[in-house]
Amino acid sequence: MRIKTRLIHGGIEGDPHTGAVSVPIYQVSTYKQDAIGQHKGFEYSRTGNPTRHALETYIAELEGGARGLAFGSGMAALSTILSMFNKGDHVVVGDDVYGGTYRVITRVFSRLGLEATYADTSDGAAVEAAIRPETKAIIMETPTNPLLKVSDIESLSKVAKKHGILLIVDNTFMTPYWQNPLDLGADIVYHSATKYLGGHSDVVAGLVVTKDAKLGEELHFLQNAIGGILGPQDSWILLRGMKTLGIRMEEHEQNARTLAEWLEKRSDISRVIYPGLASHPQHELAKRQGRGFGGMISFDVGSAARADEVLSRVKYFTLAESLGAVESLISVPARMTHASIPAERRAELGITDGLVRISVGIEDVQDLMEDLEQALSK
């Protein structure tokens, strides 16, 4: 089954009891047992719920893994993964990962004795140099946010295997439609399903898929023990949203490519970052490890003042954090998502005050272009 068909027919189709074509919302906490321990596969909804189970089966199939697990947010998903580690364990983490990832590792799991080193995951030697005897995993994002740096999943999976540690990939930006980290050698893939998978700015959720069943069992134990599960209603919203992931991602990408090429031709913009552009430093790698380049673009308008002007003039780009929904969003990372990073560190990374990030929606690209044109040219 090809990915577009798998998005429609993958996982559990409808309801075997009634023939309902969509999976029903099992709004239930507990299940009747005919005798002690005799049940139909569900005992209590923290442990398992049929609607969540349908979503978990579906994402596992889409990512090509053995076990899927659904959580109340991307951060709940990551926190459950991090709960596999013990006091004194060490992880190597990408140096420009999502701010919340950095926060939960440095301010929460550090208190429990998990140690971390931040390294540029687009540099395999830097990652390898950061590995210690206590290292248990490499945690990476590709492409990163907002600089859209691309890291080589396959080569990092070889580094991980050589050292007997796990490779954990945040696949939020690419989605299983464009990129399958497990096929490239990763052990665990996770998503903020709040973004492209949900796709409609109406749900906060996290999804995890493990390559092998044993790791899946371990994470299910933690999911049940910690309890950060996704509820049945939100599981259903996600199942519904994901059916159209294929057509949405195609549109996001086509619009993003058109806008990136147009922005790159403008003389009043110093830098356009989009992995689909030949000018992107890891364009060839992005082409090799994925089937597409996604819908995120960053570009530099030169100053904080000009960024403010652009933000105040756009009509179709909503000023908001988050990404990946049908509507186009615009943000200034230095003063929004990355404001908590010290200014010197931001400068080192290249997150300038004039850097604008857009999550390209699925509106008519001509309207988006005209909107940016008037916002940039006054």
Q: How far apart are CA 161 and CA 137, in angstroms?
A: 10
Q: Which residue has the tokens 């398992």?
A: 48
Please say which residue, 58 or 102, places its beta carbon nearer to ligand PLP.
Answer: 102
The strand pairing partners of 141, in sequence order, are 170
- R_g over Cα of the chain: 21
Q: Is 98 a catalytic residue?
A: yes
**Residue 204 beta carbon to ligand PLP: minimum distance, rounded to whole angstroms:** 5
Q: Does 350 bind ligand PLP (CB under 6 A)?
A: no
**Closer Cβ to ligand PLP, 122 or 269, answer by number:** 122
Interface characters, 119-158, with ligand PLP (x: CB under 6 A):
----------------------x---x-------------
Question: Min. distance of Cβ 75 from ligand PLP in angstroms?
Answer: 4
Give the helix ranges, DSSP H, for 179-244. 213-226, 232-242
Minimum distance, C-beta of residue 160 to ligand PLP, in the bound complex (Å):
20
End-to-end CA distance of the chain: 50
Options 192-200, 250-258, 346-354, 356-364: segment touching ligand PLP (CB under 6 A): 192-200
Instruction: Give the residue nearest to ligand PLP (CB).
Output: 74
378 is catalytic: no
Q: How far apart are CA 146 and CA 152, in angstroms?
A: 18
In the list 51, 172, 223, 352, the residue contacting ligand PLP (rule: CB under 6 A) is 172
Among residues 89, 152, 170, 187, the one annotated as catalytic is: 170
Structure tokens at 18: 């009634």
Closest to ligand PLP by CB, 11 or 143? 143
Give least dist CB 134 to ligand PLP, A. 25
Largest distance between two CA atoms of the chain: 74
**Distance separating alpha carbons of residues 33 and 258, to the nearest angstrom:** 57
- Coil, strand, or helix at residue 341? coil
Cβ distance to ligand PLP smaller for residue 204 or 351: 204
- The one catalytic residue in 52, 58, 95, 98 is 98
We find the least distance from the C-beta atom of residue 80 to ligand PLP, in angstroms, to be 12
SS3 89: coil
Active site residue 170: yes
Is residue 16 exposed (0-12), middle (13-18) or buried (19+ Cβ within 10 Å)? Answer: exposed
d(CA 55, CA 53): 5
Q: Which of 52, 67, 149, 195 binds ligand PLP (CB under 6 A)?
A: 195
Q: How far apart are CA 211 and CA 217, in angstroms?
A: 11
Considering only residues 69 to 108 of the shown chain, the ones binding ligand PLP according to CB under 6 A are: 73-75, 98, 100-101
Nearer to ligand PLP, 168 or 285 (CB): 168
Residues 203-242 that bind ligand PLP (CB under 6 A): 204, 206
CB 180, CB 60: distance < 8 Å: no
Q: Could you tell me which residues come within 8 angstroms of residue 104 by beta carbon, excluding any fewer than 6 positions away?
A: 75, 78, 79, 82
Answer for the pair 40, 31: CB distance below 8 angstroms, yes or no.
yes
Which CB, 52 or 195, lies closer to ligand PLP?
195
So which residues are the catalytic ones?
46, 98, 170, 195
- Chain residues that interact with ligand PLP, rule: CB under 6 A: 73-75, 98, 100-101, 141, 145, 170, 172, 192, 194-195, 204, 206
